[in-house]
Amino acid sequence: MTDAAGGEWHAEIMIRAVVFDLDGVLRHFDPAHVAAIEEQHGLPEGSVHRAAFAPELLDQVVTGRLSRSAWVRSVGEQLGNPRAAEEWGRHPSVPDAGMLALSDELRAAGIRTAILTNGTDTIPAELCESGIDRHVDTVFNSAEIGFAKPDVRIFQHVLDALGLMPDEVFFTDDSASKLVGADVLGIRTHHFTGVDGLRAALHARGL
């Protein structure tokens, strides 16, 4: 079998599953959208993300202790502007066509693909609406699991659910800090910076 770049997937496959981060890997958000909201509502630059991604608040939503709707309300309270928070909460994303094609190629070659995301309770609906869920075999969502990357426990959950050993799994994330828990367990990892680099890393692993 050949990939989109004309290369061949090797017949002897050691890695049985490739796991992708979601945001910044399989889908992307336009930062200009948030900047426009802040400008429109007279908010300081960066204030929306400072409120939304404050560690204590973010940890609650990505481990399922706080719903996404409650998260958006909390952001609105902190900003003193619920409307701006609601507009931020509707931030559109764009699927990465090249990455989805790569996932399809891997699946066609008999390799399972999955998403592992520090997500919220609305991830299933978001993936269904965007069609991303049709390009992977499994979705692992921290809000459902109760642990978030880089916690070793969420990576162990993935291994157990897939029924695979660490060296049979390859994980990529656009945040290097999120790879730490996977590295501890011996999962093959790659710091994602683009589809071409990921393809090269996968081929170097015999895929």
The pLDDT value given to residue 4? 44
Residue 99 has pLDDT above 60, yes or no: yes
The pLDDT value given to residue 9? 46
Residue 48 has pLDDT above 90, yes or no: yes
Instruction: Please give the average per-residue pLDDT across 181-200, as a whole number.
Output: 98
Instruction: Please give the average per-residue pLDDT across 85-90, as a whole number.
Output: 96
Residue 184 has pLDDT above 80, yes or no: yes
CATH class of 17-28+94-204: alpha beta
Confidence of residue 206 (pLDDT cuts 50, 70, 90): confident
Confidence of residue 2 (pLDDT cuts 50, 70, 90): very low
Spatial contact of 189 and 20, defined as CB atoms under 8 Å apart:
no
Rounded CA-CA distance 37/23 in Å is: 20
| Average pLDDT of every residue of the chain | 94
Residue spans in the chain of domains classed CATH 3.40.50.1000: 17-28+94-204
Instruction: Please give the average per-residue pLDDT across 48-71, as a whole number.
Output: 97
Its pTM stands at 0.91
Instruction: Please give the average per-residue pLDDT across 177-197, as a whole number.
Output: 98
Residue 207 has pLDDT above 90, yes or no: no
